[in-house]
Chain A
Amino acid sequence: MVYAHSFWPLAAVMLPLLATVPIMLSGRSPNLRESWTLLAGGGMFAIVASMLPAVLAGGGFVLTLAEVVPGVPIQLRVDALGMFFALVASFLWIFTSVYSIGYMRALEEHDQTRYFASFAVAIAATIGVAFSANLLTLYLFYEILSLSTYPLVTHEQNAEARASGRKYLTYILGTSIGLVLPAMLIVYHLTGTLDFTHGGILAGKASPGTLSLLLLLFVLGFAKAGVMPFHGWLPAAMVAPTPVSSFLHGVAVVKVGVFSILRVVFDIFGPDLLRSLDLGVALTYFVSITILFASLVALTQDNLKRRLAYSTIGQLSYMILGAGMVSAAGMTGGVLHIAMHAFGKITLFFCAGAIYVASHKKYISEMDGLGRQMPITYVAFFLGSLSIIGMPPLGGFLSKWNLLVGAVQSQQMVLVAVLLGSSLLNAAYFFPIVYRGFFAPAPAGGAASGIREAPLFCLLPLSVTALCSLLLFFYPSVFLQLVQRALFP
């Protein structure tokens, strides 16, 4: 594959990063500040999209920033897999920005300047992860993302936020320093490079035992992917304002974790190596536990955002499961699920936020009959949950279908059972919410409490993302092509 030298990858990362300066400076006039945010979001998506045709045509872009360690530069590279992720993240950021504006203003939140500035840094880091050309660069942006999201998670600055912030950092920083860093150094020690190479770099460099240990270190170390037992931060981080939960903990942060693991599996280990050592199977069984357990826990949660959080934990492991199958359909399904889940889950979080803005309700048990007062929100919620469950005609069906095909192909009937069982559980924890919303009788006295739909700034994004989920079922070609390019160039 030929990579053209270009500054565009850097521009995509730097645009939101540089936008923090005018955002900070224009803290006194919110309208100006928000227009900077939107401008950066739109600009970044435009830059990412402008690189799409070249990537689809089989090309790519590369930019070396600095050679920091012999053989391992800080390097940005746009390839199909990175493009896939960047496209999803930058597209959704625009809607998250719009939604954030609506949410934060409706609730009259404090410190909005800091909020938007941190948000911009976080998206820059996310795009940086997507465009990283090697493990060191990825680690760099991964850490920046961890640190820049701390102010967002602890935005409320109360005792609960403090405790959650601690938990968040303990899990995320602890694993990245304690597990990923040594694993990365061992890889470097073994191979002398950290470059993401199609087919992997580790083949034949170490004993099976060492390789298994490395894989374990990486899968657990990228704790943002929420693989059990390092999943505890995700429910805790739900104290953050809902836009943060929706974007970061529904899309950017957790997907960065999964994306990092996929990168490592595809481009450091390589599917062939995994297959030859049967590590892929081990990986699939390992994450199956997370899938089932998270879905079960989700059933018991009454707090809507926590239920969504556990749902996310389960869904994330689908993606790793797909990669672990090392069959064509399985890997395609796993990668595709990044996008499908992103659109579905962000819709759900947006809806949760909209419900909170409109009614200040957090618990599912309080939401009886709410759907009749907020029909648009609830319809969107319904669509989002269908996508997550994997029902046609929504995007989620495509990825889950591929995963199932992959499981059948590799003759892992256990995995088929896991996938089907989990889908049932998904339905079991999503449908009651919708059912209660539309059909349960409203609590006495609260029926005419004047709850109306959330402001337009909130409503618009969630409608669009729900529609996108729908459209992805019919027009998934861009994403499918990217996945094909990424996996089978």
Chain B
Amino acid sequence: MTTSNLHLYILAAPLLGAFAVNLLGRLSRRWVAPLTLGVLGYATIAALVVLARVLRDGTISYTIGNWRPPFGIELVIDPLGALMLLLISAVALTATFSSLTSIERELPGREHLFFTMYLLLIAGLTGLALTGDAFNLYVLLEITSITTYGLIAMGRGRAPLASFNYIIMGSIGACFYLLGVGYLYLLTGSLNMADIANILHGLQETAALATAFAFIMVGLWVKMAFFPLHSWLPNAYSLAPSGASVMIAPLMTKVTVFLMIRVMFSIFSPEYEFIQHAGVQSLIVWVAALAIVCASALALAQRDLKRMLTYIIVAEVGYMVGGVWLANSQGMTGAILHIVNDALMTLCLFLAAAAIAYRTGSLGFDSLQGLYRRMPITMAAFTIGAFSMIGVPPTAGFFSKWYLILGGIEANQWGYVAALLFSSLVNAVLFFRIIEIAYFRTGEVGHGHDHGHAAVRVEEAPLMMLAPLVLAALALIAVGFGSGPLVSGVIRLAVPGGF
């Protein structure tokens, strides 16, 4: 119990900010940028303070309206949740700089509406990181989903159709989750996660419990686009306005993976998943391996940068799900570290894609030719993001892969290890294909001694898009070098008990 409200303000700031943006944005569009950035800047700083506090004092429990749990709504901020809070707010803040610029061009005159939803989505994500209540989790999940539907539908062309498919799939996922929670409620009479966990502890294993668990898991897998439930994601993310995808792509799937960890370890227990259902555990790791391989292979078939990235996201989801289900602390550490790293990598790459789209207007592979000359800084940052995806040290991506593979070796899951290596190799092919296109100008004709190179003008993206991109790229290297302290200082604490 605490009386400090700081963590609540992290949730409330974007919520209030959303409606303030809507109200004041009507009066003048000039209000939008300072309000959004101010709110998110505040949230980021507050999240940092909260994380430090949680690491020092341990898990914080907060009751809304002073109704004591399990009757009232409880917010639980454990180290993992606090880490997610910081990740969400920091990534959102970074992405916002770029969004502000690209939305100004893509949706002129409707910035205030866009950023209302944008901030609501962030508030929803923050809530997901905070909540300690299974039903609230459903509501917040739907808040994030509904705003995402809206944001995606704001894109051009086929975006509304992609959004509609996402609505159908996303709602099925949410309904499954709701149904699972219904079973849990029938069994325990409670909705508070800690309370349910307590009651389940003394409960016999029944078919109903397994049903509940299965429904919740499948529901979340749909939401996180775990192969083969991923079909909605590539269209939805690649057709969304770039201002929306720079924020949605890094955060949505990662937060859902976090939710899976929450459900698995705060409601159910490692003993339940990994010992009582060891066969299922092994099966899911194999499915994760399959997910990685298939999604990587599908990514190879894409001819558009953003679509390719979306398939990589699907593969990365396989990494994380597999890591969690390896059922050892290395795999878990890897999965959590990969949540952080993958959010940053995806942010970096999508920011680069947004910057490229801003200048070239298209992300087809053909339009990427000669980009190293036209946009050297953007491409340098893109290259760092690509290296991180491939897993080249010392970028961040290498270290989470390190833990994941180590977990796979420890668990004797060689299929998963092979899948991770395969995916690294495929990523190398994917990104070097792009680097090659961007590095060679026209490709076919030899022009080794052509002095006309200097004629290509440098046309970098505007500073508002470039600065966050460079920041994200530097963050990848910084997190890579700092992954030792990060793991020992934060993630080891965040690994749920039972390992």
Q: How far is the CA of A139 from the CA of B482 in the complex (A)?
A: 18
Q: Could you tell me if B405 and A74 are in contact, using CB atoms closer than 8 angstroms? A: no
Q: Could you tell me if A185 and B405 are in contact, using CB atoms closer than 8 angstroms? A: yes
Q: How far is the CA of A158 from the CA of B393 in the complex (A)?
A: 29
CB-nearest residue of chain A to B429: A170
Could you mark each residue 97-141 of chain A with 1 if its beta carbon is under 8 Å from any beta carbon of chain B, else 0?
A: 000000000011111000000000000000000000000100110
Q: Could you tell me if B449 and A154 are in contact, using CB atoms closer than 8 angstroms? A: no
Q: Could you tell me if A157 and B485 are in contact, using CB atoms closer than 8 angstroms? A: no
Q: Could you tell me if B436 and A162 are in contact, using CB atoms closer than 8 angstroms? A: yes
Q: Could you tell me if A136 and B393 are in contact, using CB atoms closer than 8 angstroms? A: yes
Q: Does A392 have its Cβ within 8 Å of any Cβ on chain B?
A: no
Q: How far is the CA of A143 from the CA of B397 in the complex (A)?
A: 14
Q: Does B394 have its Cβ within 8 Å of any Cβ on chain A?
A: yes
Stretch touching chain A among B61-69, B153-161, B384-392: B384-392
Q: How far is the CB of B473 from chain A (nearest CB, A)?
A: 15
Q: How far is the CA of A109 from the CA of B450 in the complex (A)?
A: 9
Q: Does B226 have its Cβ within 8 Å of any Cβ on chain A?
A: no
Q: How far is the CA of A144 from the CA of B443 in the complex (A)?
A: 25
CB-nearest residue of chain A to B330: A189
Q: Could you tell me if A110 and B428 are in contact, using CB atoms closer than 8 angstroms? A: no
Could you mark each residue 267-307 of chain A with 1 if its beta carbon is under 8 Å from any beta carbon of chain B, else 0?
A: 00000000000000000000000000000000000000000
Task: Name the one of A65, A68, A107 contacting B483, with C-beta atoms under 8 angstroms.
Answer: A68
Q: How far is the CA of A236 from the CA of B436 in the complex (A)?
A: 17
Q: Does B209 have its Cβ within 8 Å of any Cβ on chain A?
A: no
Question: Which residues of chain A come closer than 8 Å to B458, judged between CB atoms?
Answer: none
Q: Does B42 have its Cβ within 8 Å of any Cβ on chain A?
A: no
Q: How far is the CB of A72 from chain B (nearest CB, A)?
A: 9
Known contacts A65-B481, A73-B484: A177-B391 contact under CB 8 Å: yes
Q: How far is the CB of A326 from chain B (nearest CB, A)?
A: 29
Q: Does A443 have its Cβ within 8 Å of any Cβ on chain B?
A: no
Q: How far is the CB of B277 from chain A (nearest CB, A)?
A: 26
CB-nearest residue of chain A to B448: A156
Chain A contacts with B in 49-92, Cβ cutoff 8 A: 65-70, 73-74
Q: How far is the CA of A66 from the CA of B447 in the complex (A)?
A: 44
The count of residues in chain A whose C-beta lies closer than 8 Å to any C-beta of chain B is 41
Could you mark each residue 24-43 of chain B with 1 if its beta carbon is under 8 Å from any beta carbon of chain A, else 0?
A: 00000000000000000000
Question: Which residues of chain B come closer than 8 Å to A160, judged between CB atoms?
Answer: 446
Q: Does B274 have its Cβ within 8 Å of any Cβ on chain A?
A: no
Q: Could you tell me if B446 and A169 are in contact, using CB atoms closer than 8 angstroms? A: no
Q: Could you tell me if B446 and A140 are in contact, using CB atoms closer than 8 angstroms? A: no
Q: Could you tell me if B447 and A157 are in contact, using CB atoms closer than 8 angstroms? A: yes
Known contacts A65-B481, A67-B485, A158-B447: A186-B441 contact under CB 8 Å: no
The count of residues in chain B whose C-beta lies closer than 8 Å to any C-beta of chain A is 40
Q: Does B409 have its Cβ within 8 Å of any Cβ on chain A?
A: yes
Known contacts A110-B451, A178-B425, A186-B409: A157-B439 contact under CB 8 Å: yes
Interface centre among A143, A166, A186 (most CB of B within 10 A): A143
Q: Does A3 have its Cβ within 8 Å of any Cβ on chain B?
A: no
Q: Does A174 have its Cβ within 8 Å of any Cβ on chain B?
A: yes
Q: Could you tell me if B421 and A162 are in contact, using CB atoms closer than 8 angstroms? A: no
Q: Does B432 have its Cβ within 8 Å of any Cβ on chain A?
A: yes
Q: How far is the CB of B385 from chain A (nearest CB, A)?
A: 14
Q: How far is the CA of A111 from the CA of B373 in the complex (A)?
A: 11
Question: Which residues of chain A come closer than 8 Å to B387, judged between CB atoms?
Answer: 147
Q: Could you tell me if B406 and A185 are in contact, using CB atoms closer than 8 angstroms? A: yes
Question: Which residues of chain A come closer than 8 Å to B432, judged between CB atoms?
Answer: 166, 169, 173
CB-nearest residue of chain A to B402: A69
Q: Could you tell me if B448 and A174 are in contact, using CB atoms closer than 8 angstroms? A: no
Known contacts A147-B387, A177-B421: A157-B440 contact under CB 8 Å: yes
Task: Name the one of B399, B441, B446, B449 contacting A68, with C-beta atoms under 8 angstroms.
Answer: B399
Question: Which residues of chain B come closer than 8 Å to A70, judged between CB atoms?
Answer: 484, 487-488
Q: Could you tell me if B439 and A147 are in contact, using CB atoms closer than 8 angstroms? A: no
CB-nearest residue of chain B to A137: B393
Q: How far is the CA of A297 from the CA of B451 in the complex (A)?
A: 37
Question: Which residues of chain B come closer than 8 Å to A111, judged between CB atoms?
Answer: 453
CB-nearest residue of chain B to A151: B439
Question: Which residues of chain B come closer than 8 Å to A186, judged between CB atoms?
Answer: 409
Known contacts A74-B481, A143-B393, A189-B406: A108-B449 contact under CB 8 Å: yes
Q: How far is the CB of A183 from chain B (nearest CB, A)?
A: 11
Could you mark each residue 142-166 of chain A with 1 if its beta carbon is under 8 Å from any beta carbon of chain B, else 0?
A: 0110010001001011111110011
Question: Which residues of chain A come closer than 8 Å to B406, judged between CB atoms?
Answer: 185, 188-189
Known contacts A67-B484, A69-B399: A173-B428 contact under CB 8 Å: yes
Q: How far is the CB of A189 from chain B (nearest CB, A)?
A: 5
Q: Does A43 have its Cβ within 8 Å of any Cβ on chain B?
A: no
Known contacts A143-B392, A154-B439, A177-B390: A159-B453 contact under CB 8 Å: no
Q: Could you tell me if B405 and A68 are in contact, using CB atoms closer than 8 angstroms? A: no
Q: Does A181 have its Cβ within 8 Å of any Cβ on chain B?
A: yes
Q: Is the interface of A mostly helix, strand, loop or mixed?
A: helix
Question: Which residues of chain B come closer than 8 Å to A161, judged between CB atoms?
Answer: 448
Question: Which residues of chain A come closer than 8 Å to B425, judged between CB atoms?
Answer: 173-174, 177-178
Q: Could you tell me if B436 and A166 are in contact, using CB atoms closer than 8 angstroms? A: yes
Interface centre among A109, A139, A162 (most CB of B within 10 A): A162
Q: Does A42 have its Cβ within 8 Å of any Cβ on chain B?
A: no
Question: Which residues of chain A come closer than 8 Å to B436, judged between CB atoms?
Answer: 162, 165-166
CB-nearest residue of chain A to B453: A110
Known contacts A173-B428, A189-B409: A157-B448 contact under CB 8 Å: yes
Question: Which residues of chain A come closer than 8 Å to B488, judged between CB atoms?
Answer: 70
Q: Could you tell me if B444 and A159 are in contact, using CB atoms closer than 8 angstroms? A: yes
Question: Which residues of chain B come closer than 8 Å to A185, judged between CB atoms?
Answer: 402, 405-406, 409
Q: Does A182 have its Cβ within 8 Å of any Cβ on chain B?
A: yes
Q: Could you tell me if A189 and B410 are in contact, using CB atoms closer than 8 angstroms? A: yes
Could you mark each residue 402-446 of chain B with 1 if its beta carbon is under 8 Å from any beta carbon of chain A, else 0?
A: 100110011000000100010011001000100010011101111
CB-nearest residue of chain B to A181: B421
Question: Which residues of chain A come closer than 8 Å to B405, judged between CB atoms?
Answer: 181-182, 185
Q: Does B250 have its Cβ within 8 Å of any Cβ on chain A?
A: no
Q: Does B480 have its Cβ within 8 Å of any Cβ on chain A?
A: yes
Q: How far is the CA of A439 from the CA of B444 in the complex (A)?
A: 41
Question: Which residues of chain B come closer than 8 Å to A143, judged between CB atoms?
Answer: 392-393
Question: Which residues of chain A come closer than 8 Å to B482, judged between CB atoms?
Answer: 66
CB-nearest residue of chain A to B446: A158
Q: Could you tell me if A66 and B484 are in contact, using CB atoms closer than 8 angstroms? A: yes
Q: How far is the CA of A26 from the CA of B147 in the complex (A)?
A: 49
Question: Which residues of chain A come closer than 8 Å to B410, judged between CB atoms?
Answer: 189
Task: Name the one of B393, B443, B449 contacting A109, with C-beta atoms under 8 angstroms.
Answer: B449
Q: How far is the CA of A441 from the CA of B428 in the complex (A)?
A: 51
Q: How far is the CA of A271 from the CA of B347 in the complex (A)?
A: 47
Q: How far is the CA of A367 from the CA of B393 in the complex (A)?
A: 45
Known contacts A157-B439, A162-B443: A69-B484 contact under CB 8 Å: yes
Q: How far is the CA of A69 from the CA of B406 in the complex (A)?
A: 11
Q: How far is the CA of A398 from the CA of B343 in the complex (A)?
A: 55
Could you mark each residue 474-499 of chain B with 1 if its beta carbon is under 8 Å from any beta carbon of chain A, else 0?
A: 00000011111101100000000000
Q: Could you tell me if A159 and B393 are in contact, using CB atoms closer than 8 angstroms? A: no
Q: Could you tell me if A66 and B448 are in contact, using CB atoms closer than 8 angstroms? A: no
Q: How far is the CA of A369 from the CA of B446 in the complex (A)?
A: 31
CB-nearest residue of chain B to A184: B402
Q: How far is the CA of A66 from the CA of B446 in the complex (A)?
A: 45
16 contacts between A and B (CB under 8 A): A69-B402, A74-B481, A110-B453, A139-B393, A140-B394, A147-B392, A156-B446, A166-B432, A169-B428, A178-B421, A182-B405, A185-B402, A185-B406, A186-B409, A189-B406, A189-B409
Other than A166-B432, A181-B391, give 12 A-B pairs with Cβ distance below 8 A.
A65-B481, A66-B482, A68-B484, A69-B399, A70-B484, A147-B392, A156-B448, A159-B444, A169-B428, A169-B432, A174-B428, A177-B428
Nearest 10 CB-CB pairings of A with B? A158-B446, A67-B484, A140-B393, A156-B448, A68-B484, A66-B481, A189-B409, A143-B392, A177-B424, A185-B405
Instruction: Show the binding face of B for A, using Cβ within 8 Å.
Output: 387, 390-394, 399, 402, 405-406, 409-410, 417, 421, 424-425, 428, 432, 436, 439-441, 443-451, 453, 480-485, 487-488
